[in-house]
Amino acid sequence: MKNQVVLITGASSGIGMATARLLHDRGYRVYATARQVEKMESLGQAGVRLLAMDVTREESVVSAVQTILEEAGRIDVLVNNAGYGSYGALEDVPMSEARYQFEVNVFGLARLIQLVLPAMRRQQSGRIINVSSIGGRIGEPHGAWYHATKFALEGLSDSLRMELRQFNIPVVVIQPGAIRTEWNGIARQNLLNVSGQTAYRDLAQKHIRMLENADQRGSEPAVIANVIQKAIHSPRPRTRYAAGAGAKVILFLRSILSDRAFDQLVLSQLK
């Protein structure tokens, strides 16, 4: 695995930063990307190659991929980690924000896959790692647009996996549970800003408290970084890896409960 070239998006904090650091330490040639390069300074000091990338801008993603191919000559692994949670009652969220949530979490990710696949097919090898969420299998109030993007990512990954099997390019989905990252704080603030003073304010305030508690109980980003490294290293990776606080339990409960029973379970946590 030494010197395999890895492109990671959303590496300015959390899971992306932890993954970039771990893979670099394990001997991979890591290209860490984010909109704000200055937030990745510690990675750069460790020897990780830093690139500015906004996954919603065509010229930005094209430039980054071209730079890597010119410098390294190949891309062996794409870790699609960039994403955020736009929370608020569906009635309250502007459609412009809903579209941007899809631009970041789905369309930007898909465009990067399009850009790296020609090189991977020429190599007759490669690996696509899509960081989804347990939110790609369950719903919750105020998360309609975020969960819609993750459900879309799950379906995209399933279809892509079958398309790329002929080229020896596995597609792996990572489904984190509660992880201590900036994501939780951003989701809480979005929920407060969008629905904190609307007809949904009472349930929104309860949800904010639940998210705060989940953040305190969450796993460290390194837990997911280790799972991503395992998915890259494995000769025959699983199609999905669920990890982090509550992930496996919640997915198991979703698999055995009816829709209404699971709805009640989720709502019972918003007290």
Q: What angle do CA 259, 262, 264 make, to 5 degrees?
A: 110
Q: Which 8-state DSSP code applies to residue 260?
A: H
Which one of the listed residues 31, 146, 200, 241 is annotated catalytic? 146
Residue 233 tokens, joined: 């290293």
Amino acid identity, position 148: A
Known catalytic membership, residue 206: no
H or E stretch at 99: helix 95-102
Q: How far is CA 261 from CA 77, 135, 254, in A?
A: 40, 17, 9
Residue 213 tokens, joined: 């508690």
Which one of the listed residues 28, 31, 86, 150 is annotated catalytic? 150
Which one of the listed residues 28, 86, 132, 200 is annotated catalytic? 132
Residue 76 tokens, joined: 């062996």
Known catalytic membership, residue 12: yes
β partners of residue 33: 51
Count of H helices and E strands in the chain? 11, 7
Known catalytic membership, residue 87: no
- Do 178 and 77 form a contact (C-beta atoms < 8 A)? no
- Do 31 and 6 form a contact (C-beta atoms < 8 A)? yes
Known catalytic membership, residue 241: no
Which one of the listed residues 12, 86, 133, 219 is annotated catalytic? 12
- Do 39 and 12 form a contact (C-beta atoms < 8 A)? yes
Residue 204 tokens, joined: 């929104």
Report how far residue 129's alpha carbon sits from residue 227's, in angstroms, rounded to the nearest whole number: 11
User: Active-site positions?
Assistant: 12, 132, 146, 150
